[in-house]
Amino acid sequence: MPGKTQRKYVKELMIFNKSIKKPLDIVKSVLPYEYTYDDILSLFKELYSYEWDIIEKRYEYYLSKDKHLKSVKKKRRYKPTEPNSYLEELQKVKHILSDGQKKLHKINFDENSRLKTLEELQIKTKERMKKIDKKIKKNTYLLQEIEPLYLDIFIEAYHQKSAILDDKLEIVKEIQKYDCDKSTTFFQKLNDSEKNKQLQTIAYEHLKSLKKYGKLRKGFKGNKKAFMSEKTIFEMKPLDLLKRIDKDTVQNKKSFDYFISHSYRDNTLVKDVIVYLNTQNLHAYCDWFNDTDFLKRTYVSEYTKVVLKKRIEQSSKVLFIRTNNTNDKENKFYSEWVEMEIDYAKELGKEIECIDLIDGANDEFKSFVYDENKLVLKS
């Protein structure tokens, strides 16, 4: 098996090396009159920062695999080359650095043409990276950058022999909501070894959408078992979630530091608050972050309210974002949902903290102000 795995790695490496050839050809066209490897490396990083990032992540990916093998008393299998050295050892780079290519480069060199081409490439690179960053931002908008305490429970549940495809898909969708080392490792392992094509494809696409390293894997050869091609659709409603919370399922194992009580009109503010809480290693619950698969607006019902109450029970505290969209100055609620959440939190005796963005202090709750992406306790 190790020999077979290593052959697959070598083949994947050859394909990856081939993908770097065209960028290197373009880098070659804008090299200065006298150039060294450092010039190639510098221009590659500048013009192909996305590809360079993948080279670095690919190195870290295979290095971690070798570290794991070593930790279980096995020989290293991959021995990835450090990124700077990797590029230098490519046959294409060695060719560009050869005396013959340097001589030919000098014969055809035109500094004005080089500078013009370089400027055009720099503009294209900026536009390209803007598009990539915009796409990544969109893909990560509903992710929390934190490792929830129950993540290990979810991963263990995924690998239980009794887990059916529906169970696994639910767990995958839950782990997709977090951007942390443990979730990345989970999806990389799924991409490497999951034999069900639907789950493996989801893992690969998820890694790709977050600009994480994952190689596109071909289907398994030989006799295929039925479960490999099995598919399912995850179409859920609030009642489905309520049933899961009430039973001994992964949904029942969740816990949160804060339940965010808010108006949907303040969604941008809510996002900023959750980002800040994550930087403080605090895990927040927000219905359109955490339960987006179940609590669709088209299915709003009394079950939705019960689910929200259950999530309040699973939260240590409630963070009330008080704005002109939730209350007036006399603290009259505009939203029955927010009022229900606050009333239920009081009923349970939960501590309620408040980001107060309405003129006039709200003495009813432990109050914070929101300033420059920071929560500051009022004096």
Whether the Cβ atoms of residue 6 and residue 77 lie closer than 8 Å to each other: yes
Report strand pairing: 374-377 vs 366-371. Answer: antiparallel
Residue 186 CA to residue 163 CA, distance in Å, equals 16
Whether the Cβ atoms of residue 361 and residue 352 lie closer than 8 Å to each other: no
Residue 269 CA to residue 356 CA, distance in Å, equals 12
What phi-psi label fits residue 368: left (phi over 0), alpha (psi between -120 and 50 degrees) or beta? beta
DSSP codes of every residue in 212-264: ---PPPPPPPSPPPHHHH--------HHHHHHHHHTTSGGGG--EEEEEE--G
Residue 296 CA to residue 366 CA, distance in Å, equals 31
Is 341 among the catalytic positions? yes
Residue 13 CA to residue 16 CA, distance in Å, equals 5
Exposed e or buried b per residue across 17-47, where buried means at least 16 C-beta atoms within 10 angstroms of its C-beta: eeebeebbeebbebbeeebeeebbbebbbeb
Whether the Cβ atoms of residue 338 and residue 332 lie closer than 8 Å to each other: no
Q: Compute the half-sphere exposure of residue 228: CA atoms within 13 Å on the CB side of its CA.
A: 10
Q: Residue 178 pairs with which residues in a beta bridge? A: 144
Of 233, 190, 180, 240, the closest CA to residue 215 belongs to 190
Whether the Cβ atoms of residue 317 and residue 257 lie closer than 8 Å to each other: yes
Spot the catalytic one: 194, 341, 347, 372.
341
Of 12, 213, 31, 180, the closest CA to residue 104 belongs to 31
DSSP assignment letter at 249 = S
Q: Which two structure tokens, joined as six digits, stand for 319? A: 């963070």
Q: Based on C-alpha coordinates, what's the Rg of the chain?
A: 26
Helix (H, G, I), strand (E, B) or coil at 98: coil
- Enzyme catalytic residues: 341
